[in-house]
Chains A and B, each alone.
Chain A
Amino acid sequence: MTPLRYRVRRRLTETADTVTLVLDPVDEPIVAPLPGQFTMMYAFGVGEVPISVSGHADGGIVHTVRAVGAVSRAVAGARTGDVLGIRGPFGTDWGVPPGGDLVVLAGGIGLAPLRPVIRQAVARRARFGTVAVLIGARTPADLLYPHEYATWRAAGLDVRVTVDRADMSWTGHVGVVTTVLGALPVDPAATTAFVCGPEVMMRFAARALVDRGVPPAAVRVSLERNMRCGVGLCGHCQLGPLLVCRDGPVVGWDRAAPLLAVKEL
C-alpha cells in the first residue's frame, strides 16, 4: 500500500511540542477513517509514523501530532502547503454504542484520538445519558483543544479537566485524572468507557472504572506499539496474540488487562 499525497491546509500550534494538521488529498483520498483508527503518516525522505485520526473537515483529515522523534518532528514541522504521505486508515475503532452512558478519559496526547468520539457524542447528544469527558495533562499549557471545552459543555457534556502541576493562576483541578472520576453520575452497567493516554495511566483508569462496576469489555483502551506496516504483516507491533495495528489499537480491557500485566511483552 503506497502513501497517498496530502497537502497541509492548516497548521495549528496546540502546545509547545504538539500541532494539529488539517490535510487535504492531492489526488485520491483515503477511505474515511472511523474514530479511533490511525494512519501511517509519511514525511518524505524521513520516514513513517503511526498517528491517530483526531478529526475530519471538509473532505480533509485532521491529525494532532506530538513531536517526540525524528519522524514525528518532521511531520509536526510541516508547514501550510507542504505535502505529506498518508496510508490507511488502519486498525479497530472505538465502537461508539448507540446509547447509554459514556465516559471519555484522556491523558495528554490521548485526547487526540478521542476527540472524534466527543464530537460524535455532541452531534448525537440526545441518544446518550451522561457523557463525561475527563481530561488530564501535565500543566495547563499542555492541555489540548482547550478552546473546544466550552462547546462540549454547552452541548451537555460533563467535562472535567485536571493537571498534574499548576500555579495559583489555574482555577481548575490539580491531581491525577483518575481522581476526577469522583462520583460520576453514570450507570456502570450501561456505561461504555474510552480510555487513551500513557499506558500506566490507562491501567489505573481502567481498574478504577472496573472497580466502579463498568464491565471490563466495555472499558476500551487504545494501545500503542511499534506499528510499521499497518496491516498485520510485519509483526513489529505484536503484543501476545494481538497485532496491534490490525487487532487494535482499540481493545477491550478484558483482552488488554492480562497482556499489559506481563512485563516487556
Chain B
Amino acid sequence: MEATYELLSSQPFLAGLTPAQLDKLSYWTRKSTFHAGTRLFEEGQRADRFWLLREGHVTLDTHVPGQGTQIVETLGPHAVLGWSWLFPPYRWHFSASAVETTLAVELDGPGVRDLCARDHELGYELMRRFVEVVVQRMQATRVRLLDLYRMPS
C-alpha cells in the first residue's frame, strides 16, 4: 500500500485529503502504463475505473459516420480521465487512446463508489473535486460551441 499511498499523495487532484482518506483510497489504486496507441476503453463498454494522469496524453474520441474517428478532447498530466463510472448506467460515453507513453494512477470505480457510500466525508471531498473538473470541461466545451474561429458571416 505504501507505493500507492505515495502515488496518491502526489496527485494535485487529491491535494487536501487527509492521510487516512488517502490510505482508504490506496486499497483501490494501482499504477498503470499505456503505450502509444493503446485503447484505454471503448464507447459503450462498462465504465469501472478512472485514472489520474501523471505523464503523457490521452485522447477522447468518437466515431462520426462519414467523418471517421474524431478527437473530442486531449487530456494531459494532472487531468482526471473518466467519470462515467460515477453514475448509472456506468458505460463509457466516448473512447480513449494513449497518444504517447502515458503513466497514470488507476482507481477502481465500484470500490471507490462503495468507499464514498460508507464514508460521506471522503465522498463529499471526491464529488467536489469531480464536479470542479466537470464544470471546467463544460465551460471549455461551451466556448468551443461558439466556434470562435469560423469565418465571420
A residues engaging B (CB < 8 A)?
Answer: 17, 68, 107-108, 136-138, 142, 162, 164-168, 170-176, 178-179, 182-183, 197-198, 200-201, 204
Contact = CB atoms under 8 A, between A and B. Distances in A.
B57 interface: yes
Given A168-B69, A168-B71, A176 B143 contact: yes
Given A165-B70, A167-B69, A168-B69, A176 B140 contact: yes
Interface of B: 57, 59, 61, 67-74, 76-78, 97, 99, 140, 143-144, 146-152
A76 B147 CA distance: 23
A178 B136 CA distance: 11
Given A138-B149, A171-B99, A201 B143 contact: yes
Contact of A174 (B68, B74, B78, B151): B74
Given A173-B57, A200-B143, A166 B71 contact: yes
A175 B140 contact: yes
Contacts of B70: 165-168
Given A173-B57, A174-B71, A183-B78, A164 B144 contact: yes
23 contacts: A17-B151, A68-B151, A68-B152, A108-B148, A136-B149, A137-B149, A138-B150, A162-B74, A164-B144, A165-B71, A166-B70, A166-B71, A167-B67, A167-B70, A168-B59, A168-B61, A168-B68, A171-B99, A173-B57, A174-B59, A178-B140, A179-B140, A197-B149
A46 to B, nearest CB: 18
A101 to B, nearest CB: 20
A200 B148 contact: yes
A8 to B, nearest CB: 23
Given A168-B61, A174-B59, A176-B140, A201 B73 contact: no
Given A108-B149, A142-B149, A174 B73 contact: yes
B99 A201 contact: no
Contact of A198 (B69, B97, B99, B148): B148
Contacts of B152: 68
A238 to B, nearest CB: 21
Nearest to A160: B76
Contacts of A17: 151
B67 A164 contact: no
